[in-house]
Amino acid sequence: MSDLQRMEIFDCIAAVARPIHDFGDEFMSDEATAAVGLRAGFSPGRGFYCRGRFGVLGEASVEVVQAVQGFLGPRLVAGGWLAGRPVMPAGEAAGWYARALWTWGHAHIPAEVDVEHFNRLAQQLIDAADADALPLFAGWRAQPCPADDPVGAAMQRIHVLREHRGACHLAAVRLCGLSAREAMVINLGVGQATHYGWPEPHPVAETPTAETLTTRWQRAEHLTDELQAPLYATLSGRHRTEFARLVGALTASPTP
């Protein structure tokens, strides 16, 4: 792989990683998404989120779900997973979560975006991924995409690509010697780490190893890009440019 080609690949990854992550965050935190869970029979709270998002893992134990997803605090995951368990089987919950993705996509993906072309390029990336050690990504890749709903399918593919980067990042964080809690505090701060279920996270800046931990997190970010590079190497330079443009257009302005 030439230096120029590598630069093109990592430029594309840098261009799409944050928009894909943030668009997924918008979906996950939206009251409209929670409303789908209420219609499905879930009570208010984290039950639909945990049972729906992690339902692709099947009827796993709390400990397994926590180990697979990593970045959310154990109490948040345990509470949500156990609260959602009596409502419906895991696979059915994942199906409801997929329907929530489709619905949200129709409300937030701009009408002028060429979602058909996005779907072709995104599916090429998804198909190229090696899912070894990435079970949450593998579960969502196996979740059927609607063949007759290109907008809904585009939103689901955004979610699948987000799960790929998240799973790669969890592996990279651990390989670089960080705990998931430390990574959350470094990346988001104490307040957000608390919001995501980590009890009493200490500010990294106040620890004697703050500089070392921050350096490890930066290394994990670079390693995450490296783990994603084989996917983007399957696109031509022109298609990488088109994909980055489509991601930017698709995620540009979520409708309030």
- Report yes or no on 158 lying in a domain: yes
Summarize pLDDT for 93-139 with one digit per residue, the tens.
999 999 999 999 999 999 999 999 999 999 999 999 999 999 999 99
Summarize pLDDT for 21-80 with one digit per residue, the tens.
999 999 999 999 999 999 999 999 999 999 999 999 999 999 999 999 999 999 999 999
Residue with tokens 């208010």: 44
- Residue 68 is classified by DSSP as H
Q: Contact 49/89 with Cβ under 8 angstroms?
A: no
If one counts the domains in the chain, the total is 1
Q: How confident is the model at residue 191 (pLDDT cuts 50, 70, 90)?
A: confident
* Extended beta strands in the chain, E state: none
Per-chain mean pLDDT for the chain: 92
pLDDT at residue 100, rounded to an integer: 98
- Report yes or no on 66 lying in a domain: yes
Q: Give the tokens for residue 255.
A: 């409708």
- Report yes or no on 256 lying in a domain: no
- Residue 113 is classified by DSSP as S
- Report yes or no on 255 lying in a domain: no
- Residue 254 is classified by DSSP as -
Its domain, for residue 70, covers 3-250
Q: How confident is the model at residue 256 (pLDDT cuts 50, 70, 90)?
A: very low
